[in-house]
Amino acid sequence: MKDMSVKPVYLDNAATTFPKPASVLEKTMETYRRIGVSPGRGGYDLSAEAEEYVRDTRRKTARFFGSSAPDRVIFAGNATDALNIALQGILHPGDHVVSTRLEHNSVLRPLYHLREKGIIEYDLVRFDGKGFVDPDDIVAAIRPDTKLVVVTHASNVLGTVQPVREIGRCCAERGVLLLVDAAQSAGAVPIRVDDWQVAALAFTGHKSMLAPTGIGGLILSRQLEDIEPSRFGGTGIDSASPVHTRDFPYRLEAGTLNLLGIIGLSESLDYLAEAGVEVMHTREMELLGKLSDGLSLVAGIDLYNAEGLSDHVALLTANVRGMDPHDVGAILDGDFNIAVRTGVHCAPLVHESLGTSPGGSVRFSIGPFNTGSDIDLVLEAMKEIARHGGKG
Amino acid sequence: MRTDDIQQRVRVIAGREVVFDDEGFLWRPEDWTEDVGRALALESGMEGLNDDQWKVIRFLRDYYAYHGRAPMNRDLKAGLGMSLMDLEALFPGGIRKGARRIAGLPNPRSCT
């Protein structure tokens, strides 16, 4: 068993990457100490400087996601928050939505809520045995009254990266808007919203973008000129009017922005640009391959990732036959100092389709600071647990 | 967290009415008695609870009564002086559905 006095092997990076790059944290604090005031809310230079910093981060974020519309970068708390802003702003009574069974509750619950309120109808498309949605299935589910298709870019349970470019083409040909949940893919794989004809993309900073928690956003295309706000309040402009401004990006933002988070996002974007998203992804996938290969040799372990790990982000889920995944997670933590995520990962329909409901599975997700020796420790631990737990 | 969408079921167990959730965990930890614990163990296919199992159950009960929450993994390991793998093997249902449920602690519903 592992020496518990050393730092844990952290393999819950799909929930929140940890640790953050030291340079991101240091530079973030340095900048926040210097300009941590209300951006654009005062007549003094420091406020203007903070606002310019925010504007520059919008430009940088747009560039990162392949968007030509920096004024359509809307800051939000995280991907769930951004998805809510998008869904509540785009959908109107009588609209139909197509989504998938791969979705996280960040999509499923807002859709369910809107349907229960009698506002929308929706259909969910299946995924295949390898964890991918077929664009033809989405096309088949589109009706004359379909306004929106919502898809996750990368499954938070299976790690599979969906064919968003192809889905975007199908949607554009039919005049249907495409909303992408990039919670797991932003910072993990390259994204080009303009090229892929994405109407809106929701991202969060705290996962593969390596920013702190509490910052995320929405990248809108100019197709969405009529998106409605679902929150209202101070924006720092037109303050005498009782009407929330229609100007972007403020139309969908209300209240003082999370400047500390925006600075963290800006610094993490610089870090990603220097390190290279594809370089980091290749390294993480090598570690995932080692983990997958090792686990596949352990008797009594079921793996749920795609064969060959093609079109994948660096996570996989597994179960030890005969053991509650929560107990496996507790043992990994308590006996081996390895942190993982267990349960249904807020994606209940994926587990329903896999046949792993209601207990779910154990998810291992790799980040930029994991090493080959971390994977060795996990493999040793899982061998021991599978051997020990073979009572079922 | 308790939410309205969790099914409650009232059952008579060890001669008293007890409310359970949809996974068989006690709704109110204060409804637990040693007789309830024995009855839950019997329902899990255990013929009785041995000294090692009672030691675990009493530790969980005492910890919960004192701290108002279940022990963290490291507290469990240190407090019992055994690995969590051994604890898992001690109860047919494992740690969560075995030890914790029989001890009458609330269902840890996080991320399930």
Residue of A4, A334, A341 lying closest to B76 (CB–CB): A334
Phi and psi dihedrals of B36, rounded to 5? -60, -45
Percent over 70 (pLDDT), chain B: 92
Q: How confident is the prediction for chain A on average, in pLDDT?
A: 95
Distances (CA, A) of A91 to A71, A83, A347: 22, 12, 23
The CB-side HSE value for A323 (13 A sphere, CA atoms) comes to 33
Whose CA is closest to A378, among A292, A312, A265, A302? A292
Structure tokens at A388: 């020990």
A58-81: per-residue pLDDT in tens? Answer: 999 999 999 999 999 999 999 999
Q: How confident is the model at residue B3 (pLDDT cuts 50, 70, 90)?
A: very low
Whose CA is closest to A278, among A186, A185, A188, A182? A188
Report d(CA A324, CA B84) in Å as an integer: 13
Residue of A335, A358, A360 lying closest to B85 (CB–CB): A335
A278-295: per-residue pLDDT in tens? Answer: 999 999 999 999 999 999
> Which residue spans within chain A are E strands per DSSP?
9-10, 73-76, 95-100, 120-125, 146-152, 177-181, 200-204, 216-220, 301-303, 315-320, 338-339, 341-343, 361-365
A336-354: per-residue pLDDT in tens? Answer: 999 999 999 999 999 999 9
A96-110: per-residue pLDDT in tens? Answer: 999 999 999 999 999
SS3 A21: coil
Distance of CA A250 to the CA centre of its chain: 23
Assess whether pLDDT exceeds 50 at residue B78. Answer: yes
Quick check: B84 and A334 in contact, CB under 8 A? yes
Structure tokens at A15: 């929930």
Q: Which residue has the higher pLDDT, A69 or A40?
A: A69
- Chain B interface mutation, best of A7, A326, A388, highest count of B Cβ atoms under 10 Å: A326
Assess whether pLDDT exceeds 50 at residue A374. Answer: yes
Nearest-CA distance from A385 to chain B in Å? 7
- Chain A interface mutation, best of B74, B77, B85, highest count of A Cβ atoms under 10 Å: B85
Cα(first)–Cα(last) distance of chain B, in Å?
Answer: 11
A188-208: per-residue pLDDT in tens? Answer: 999 999 999 999 999 999 999
Residue of B76, B77, B97 lying closest to A324 (CB–CB): B97
Of A42-46, A215-219, A258-262, B89-93, where does mean pLDDT reach its minimum? Answer: A42-46
Binary contact (B95, A327; C-beta < 8 A): yes
Q: Give me the amino acid identity at A255.
A: G
DSSP tally for chain A: helices H, then strands E: 11, 13
Q: Which residue has the higher pLDDT, A97 or A1?
A: A97
User: How many CB atoms sit inside 10 A of residue A383's CB?
Assistant: 17
Phi and psi dihedrals of A154, rounded to 5? -130, 130
Q: How confident is the model at residue B112 (pLDDT cuts 50, 70, 90)?
A: very low
Q: Catalytic annotation on B63?
A: no
Binary contact (A389, B89; C-beta < 8 A): yes
- Chain A interface mutation, best of B7, B80, B84, B97, highest count of A Cβ atoms under 10 Å: B84
SS3 A18: coil
Which conformational region is residue A180 in: left (phi greater than 0), alpha (psi within -120 to 50 degrees), or beta? beta
Q: How confident is the model at residue A236 (pLDDT cuts 50, 70, 90)?
A: confident
Which conformational region is residue A283 in: left (phi greater than 0), alpha (psi within -120 to 50 degrees), or beta? alpha
Chain A CA closest to residue B99: A327
Residue of B23, B84, B97 lying closest to A335 (CB–CB): B84
Chain B CA closest to residue A342: B111
Binary contact (B85, A385; C-beta < 8 A): yes
Report d(CA A105, CA A76) in Å as an integer: 17
Q: Work out whether strand A73-76 and strand A216-220 pair parallel, antiparallel, or are unpaired.
A: antiparallel
Phi and psi dihedrals of A355, rounded to 5? 80, 20
pLDDT of the residue at B2: 46
pLDDT of the residue at A342: 96
A126-137: per-residue pLDDT in tens? Answer: 999 999 999 999
Stretch A21-36: mean pLDDT, rounded? 98
A158-172: per-residue pLDDT in tens? Answer: 999 999 999 999 999
Structure tokens at A160: 């599979």
Stretch A180-184: mean pLDDT, rounded? 98
Q: Work out whether strand A338-339 and strand A341-343 pair parallel, antiparallel, or are unpaired.
A: unpaired
> Which residues from chain B sit within 8 angstroms of residue A357, using beta carbons?
none
Stretch B32-37: mean pLDDT, rounded? 96
Structure tokens at A244: 């929330």
